[in-house]
Amino acid sequence: MDDQNTDDLNSLVAQTASRLFGDHMTHALSAAAEEGAFPAGFWTAAEEAGLTLAMVPEAAGGVGLGAEGCAAIIRLAGAHAVPLPLAETMLANRLLVAGGRELGEGILTFAATSGSLSLRREGAGWRLSGVAARVPYGRNAQSLVVVGEEDGAGRLACVPLSAGTLTPGENIAREPRDDVAFDLLLEADAVTQSPFGPAEAERMGAAVRAIALAGALDTVLELTATYVGERVQFGRTLSKFQAVQQQVAILATQTAAAGGAAGLAAQALGEGLAFAPIAAAKVRAGEAAGIAAGIAHQMHGAMGFSYEHQLHFLTKRLWAWREEFGNEAVWSRRLGADVLRRGADDLWPFIAAA
Amino acid sequence: MHHFEFPPAQLPEDAQALRAEVRAFLAETIATRTPLERAQSWIGFDADFSRRMGERGWIAMTWPKAYGGHERTALHRYVVLEEMLAAGAPVAAHWIADRQSGPTLLRYGSAAQRADILPRIATGQCFFCIGMSEPGSGSDLAAARTRAEPVEGGYRVSGTKLWTTYAHEAHYMILLARTAPGERHEGLSQFLVDMKTPGITVRPIVDIAGAHHFNEVHFEDVFLPADSILGNPGDGWKQVMGELAFERSGPERFLSSFTLLKELVRVLADDPREAAQEAVGRLVAHLIVLRRLSTSVAGMLQAGQDPQLDAAVVKDLGALFEQEIPEIARRLVSGEPSLASTSSFLNVLAYTTLNAPSFSLRGGTREILRGIIARGLGLR
Ligand SMILES: Cc1cc2nc3c(=O)[nH]c(=O)nc-3n(C[C@H](O)[C@H](O)[C@H](O)COP(=O)(O)OP(=O)(O)OC[C@H]3O[C@@H](n4cnc5c(N)ncnc54)[C@H](O)[C@@H]3O)c2cc1C
């Protein structure tokens, strides 16, 4: 596809996603999702719009959107605080196709081997054992794509969630994050080679969360700018007070920084999952999230602290997503260790190449 | 409400080759420059270095060939600037002329002024200073009191400009002065001023680090010929605002402390402390993202857009970043900062600590930038 067609398709899909999210998202739906009600109708509509196949090439039965288009969907989903495993299903399908497999059916999620979860050869087959920790939407998904490795090469399995034992959990935004214990013997051909190993799977996760953070921040900024323009105290809208203007301006700069981070993440998601841009994106978007959530709540006063207002659906996601797939401390440490190992004279070339 | 998009900017295909060329040039020309000298960043003045940059075609890169320019893109220019700053090359002599005075002359100068001056800027042999601030007019630029009174054949100028960086080295100033009484924004005009004109006195002002970069420039009945006015009389305010957009978007807005970061990485080397790795990694993450935002602004400029708000965002974030580096570095390495220290890390730390306050003042203060952003958001 040439650039013009790609741009057109991207903007078409973004419009579709935006309309779909706008039509379905209500306070009641967000509140029900927190109580564990999966919005099945919304999910079906998203699937029918092709969003879950966005990252899969056309030749493999997908939509073939490219990184920018996929990032646009994920960012919009973040902006609308959509309580669906859209990014997870998109990535799981991409992993499946890259691993030479059929597209998955229905809701998919993914996990990388690490901690106690392992995927090892046993006899003529493979054993999947241990706990897949904090699996997004584990309770709702049909299949789990497990990314492991053998001698440094990626390995991929796709197992039904029903084959594991699930202990429900949730993040601070009350999105399902379930522990799933497995002890399964898999046939030899149930595990295939994958160009992506656990490190790449984690990077994919970090990239999509950085992008989603930027989306949530877009809305947090918009809500805040609107609120201070309407709320009147001392006979004026709050927006007329310079102290308020300066705070909202900081919120805008942090939102812009997260947007830049999301751009880096999107590009890396499309071009080989480079370490530095993804690390930088997760660190920067995560830091912006904390600063922005604080300012947004301050500007909203007690109203924004009430469950009735919508702000908390977004700020809670900021606090949740900045932790997932490695928080700022984790990625900073990795990035810093890499930079220090390369040494001072490689610092600029490293940055200019990121 | 303004939406900050920051579309990705694609560096041109030959940017890689250009980058390699600049690095090779720098490796050769500034090899003996110490970290402390490099830390001066874009206020390091070296007329000879500027001339050599001119010879390589790295000044006036985007200007028409007719004026000695090279008709390359804003992104080519960006690559050269960031390589110069990252290496700590002494670019100050031509910096202001290349960044803002030249572009202002291109737009508002007379044919004769353009033909005479622009080619000299391009060869790195003609330097400019900025005559905006005054004793009573800092953030509130419209309060300028310097008067340019219309007289037979031109104008007579009286008043004082303050904080004028490198006025003592510059050949010309672009001066903001009041040509008609009028209220605030009205009645201001810009002038091209030859610094050798009789009646101009330049007095040094020493900064907190003991260095002399900026000055007080006193005008006492200085006669300027009629053709020294730039653009239309009374359009000075509009023109100055356009000039400030050039001033706020470049890589100099977040690379001022880069030498300190580099020396920090050098002293930490393979420091096993997680705190050190985390602090350095965080700064590098910020830098990678700032660079992304800043190249995006360069791309918008190239596309002919007016990214004033986006530039304000980059400058505000950039200044915070530059100012944070010394505060973080000092806690990771033992030893006290001193310009006299034989440790490069400690003398660069001293230099950067002393200069950091200026990063959120020059080119528009933090509060003014945030006011601009708030206006863009529709708050005022
Ligand atoms: C290193 C350096 C080099 C410089 N070089 C030049 C040069 O070459 N040419 C030139 O013309 N100028 C130059 N300047 C001057 C620079 O442009 C001014 O310092 C700047 O515009 C601020 O003006 P001021 O210093 O008078 O501060 P003021 O305007 O007096 O501000 C002081 C403080 O009050 C705050 N403040 C002011 N107004 C408001 C407001 N409305 N709302 C909230 N807060 C406000 C400011 O943000 C600042 O924190 C230079 C300055 C420095 C530090």
Give the distance (Å) from ligand 1 centre to CA of residue B365.
6
Kindly report, residue by residue over B287-336, the tens digit of the pLDDT. Answer: 999 999 999 999 998 898 888 899 999 999 999 999 999 999 999 999 99
Express as a percent the part of chain A with pLDDT over 70: 99
Specify the CATH number for B15-127; select among 1.10.540.10, 3.40.220.10, 3.40.640.10, 3.40.50.300.
Answer: 1.10.540.10
- Give SS3 for A109: strand
Q: Is the pLDDT of residue B261 over 70?
A: yes
Whether the CB of B258 is below 8 Å from some CB of chain A: the reply is: yes
Domain residue spans of chain B? 15-127, 130-235, 239-376
Kindly report, residue by residue over B169-198, the tens digit of the pLDDT. Answer: 999 999 999 998 877 788 999 999 999 999
Express as a percent the part of chain B with pLDDT over 90: 89
Report yes or no on whether pTM surpasses 0.90: yes
Pocket probe mutation, ligand 1, options B365, B375, B379, B380, max atoms within 8 Å of Cβ: B365
CATH superfamily name and code, A3-194: Butyryl-CoA Dehydrogenase, subunit A, domain 2 (2.40.110.10)
Kindly report, residue by residue over A109-123, the tens digit of the pLDDT. Answer: 999 999 899 999 999
Q: Which residue has the tokens 């737009």?
A: B107
- Residue A2 has a pLDDT of 54
B372 lines ligand 1 (CB under 6 A): no
Residues 6+ apart with CB under 8 A from A39: A24, A29, A32, A33, A83, A84
B365 lines ligand 1 (CB under 6 A): yes
Q: Is the pLDDT of residue A11 over 90?
A: no
- Interface size, chain A vs chain B, as Cβ–Cβ contacts under 8 Å: 173
Kindly report, residue by residue over A187-242, the tens digit of the pLDDT. Answer: 999 999 999 999 999 999 999 999 999 999 999 999 999 999 999 999 999 999 99
Give the distance (Å) from ligand 1 centre to CA of residue B136.
11
Tokens of A24: 């379905």
Whether the CB of B18 is below 8 Å from some CB of chain A: the reply is: no
B214 lines ligand 1 (CB under 6 A): yes
Residue contact B258–A348, C-beta within 8 A: yes
Identify the band that residue B5 occupies on the pLDDT scale cut at 50, 70 and 90: confident
Question: Distance of CA B253 to CAs A13, B17, B40, Å?
Answer: 36, 25, 14
Residue contact A228–B380, C-beta within 8 A: no
Q: What is the CATH number assigned to the segment(s) B130-235?
A: 2.40.110.10
Whether the CB of B184 is below 8 Å from some CB of chain A: the reply is: no
Mean pLDDT for B277-281 is 98
Fold for domain B239-376? Butyryl-CoA Dehydrogenase, subunit A; domain 3 (1.20.140)
Q: Is the pLDDT of residue B108 over 60?
A: yes
Mean pLDDT for B352-367 is 97
- Atom index in ligand 1 nearest the CA of residue B371 equals 42
B139 lines ligand 1 (CB under 6 A): yes
CA of A157 vs chain B CAs: smallest distance (Å)? 33
Give the distance (Å) from ligand 1 centre to CA of residue B364.
6
Kindly provide the ipTM of the predicted complex, given to two decimals.
0.97
- Residue A1 has a pLDDT of 44
Give the distance (Å) from ligand 1 centre to CA of residue A239.
24
Q: Name which of A257, A279, A340 is nearest B265 (Cβ-Cβ).
A: A340
Q: Is the pLDDT of residue B240 over 50?
A: yes
Residue contact B270–A246, C-beta within 8 A: no
Give the distance (Å) from ligand 1 centre to CA of residue B256.
18
Express as a percent the part of chain A with pLDDT over 90: 90
Identify the band that residue A3 occupies on the pLDDT scale cut at 50, 70 and 90: low
Q: Name which of A255, A284, A336 is nearest B4 (Cβ-Cβ).
A: A255
Q: Name which of B5, B270, B296 is nearest A341 (Cβ-Cβ).
A: B270
Burial class (CB in 10 A: 0-12, 13-18, 19+), A270: middle
Q: Is the pLDDT of residue A63 over 90?
A: no
Identify the band that residue A266 occupies on the pLDDT scale cut at 50, 70 and 90: very high
- The domain made up of A198-353 is a member of CATH 1.10.240.10: no
Kindly report, residue by residue over B51-63, the tens digit of the pLDDT. Answer: 999 999 999 999 9
- Atom index in ligand 1 nearest the CA of residue B357 equals 53
Domain residue spans of chain A? 3-194, 198-353
Identify the band that residue A288 occupies on the pLDDT scale cut at 50, 70 and 90: very high
Mean pLDDT for A86-97 is 96
